[in-house]
Amino acid sequence: MDYSRSVHFFQEAQKFIPGGVNSPVRAFKSVGTDPLFIKNASGPRIYDVDGNEFIDYVGSWGPMILGHCHPKVISAVKSAVDNGCSFGAPTELEITLAEMVIKAVPSIEMVRMVSSGTEATMSAIRLARGFTGRDKILKFSGCYHGHSDSLLVKAGSGAATFGVPDSPGVPQDFAKLTLTATYNDLESVQTLVAENKNEVSCIIVEPIAGNMGTVPPKDGFLEGLRKLCAEEGIVLIFDEVMSGFRVAYGGAQELYGVTPDMTTLGKIIGGGLPVGAFGGKKEIMSLLSPSGGVYQAGTLSGNPLAMTAGIETLKLLQSEGFYQNLEEKSAYVASGIAQAAKDAGFPIYSTRVGSMFCAFFSKEPVYDWTSAAACDTKAFAKYFRLMLDAGIYLAPSQFETAFVSIAHSTDDLDKTIAAAAKAFKSL
């Protein structure tokens, strides 16, 4: 394929934008090539500035569960634009989407709209601190909750330790308030909580990890967190920015039957427009300004375009058989890729929950960050480039999730499996 115009645009972008991109993974650094510049998209396909066509499994990093440019969503947004892009004032649309979210997500009794997943998690943590009167938080290695200071922290020298800054610009004092445990290891959590008795305000976790590849929770892990938090007066926060409305209409908490105290959302609830939300029990949410003293605000929060796109998307997700159809498509492509690798004598470790899936370039099971980090990233990078040249657009990192949309046809999935089989034979 010819990528010359994308190469040109990337060279130009680097003159004006740090690294040439507005979000780091888009730079394609970990796969050893230059990024594509996308011109347009439709259904399960995206098209770059060179006119190349790709079957897309990134889906704008998850929101495009309906596929790109669903006509009903596009029509609704166009109508909303005619009334104004943003007012900085309440609209009926905000009530409609809030009611839909509350009805869908088991843990949410009240919800606040924001403009990004980072805003949602940052605000949820502040509210948990305000509710409990405690300062420390607990997170997990390999889980990503946005780029606020308290969350850009990695584990220290032990399995369950105080964190250290994971980025320049994050003060050490912030990191001291962040404890980092091992995903899928309940004992590491129990140890940290015991060592910091009555000091932990919240535990925040991706109930299905999606930012070290797709890593499902082990049996009993989420249930153990729920029990521990209830016993210790800790707010349990599920970060469902990725899994919310993706693995089930009610998210991972519906799928696994574990209800947190708070939930953060994003991606799908905005139908592809910038959005985030956080919600939970009324007794917690009522502490949020202006009804309480915990402050949070946002100029574009609840803007009519994002609310409109979210409302139309959620309506379509409620159509009969939607998630069963999506489950079947996802199982078909994920198992097909895994079988193609096996047939080529190139074993991978395949994971999937609903329409989230990942092909780990590892012969061993992946269940936490340490096991994920052991993957052969050089082999993945070669696989990525081979798939790209075959017209298959995957996330440009071993440590990302692939997303299936309802718009992917059986023919699309078969082409993807065939491309994977050819790529594995070349590795």
Q: Which residue has the tokens 């680097």?
A: 14
Answer yes or no: 218 catalytic: no
Is the previous residue joined to 290 through a cis bond, with omega within 30 degrees of 0? yes
Residue 336 one-letter amino acid: G
Of the residues 48, 239, 368, 412, which is catalytic?
239
Distance CA 42, CA 306 (A): 19
Answer yes or no: 144 catalytic: yes
Q: Which residue has the tokens 């329409």?
A: 355
Distance CA 111, CA 84 (A): 24
If you ran DSSP here, which 8-state letter would residue 350 be given? E
Distance CA 137, CA 157 (A): 18
Neighbour-count burial of 242, counting CB atoms closer than 10 A to its CB (0-12 exposed, 13-18 middle, 19+ buried): buried
Of the residues 48, 56, 136, 267, which is catalytic?
267
Of the residues 57, 144, 349, 383, which is catalytic?
144
| Residue 365 exposure: Cα atoms within 13 Å on the Cβ side | 6
Answer yes or no: 267 catalytic: yes
Distance CA 405, CA 43 (A): 8
Calculate the dihedral angle through the C-alpha atoms of 328, 332, 338, 342, rounding to the nearest 10 degrees.
130
Residues that are catalytic: 144, 239, 267
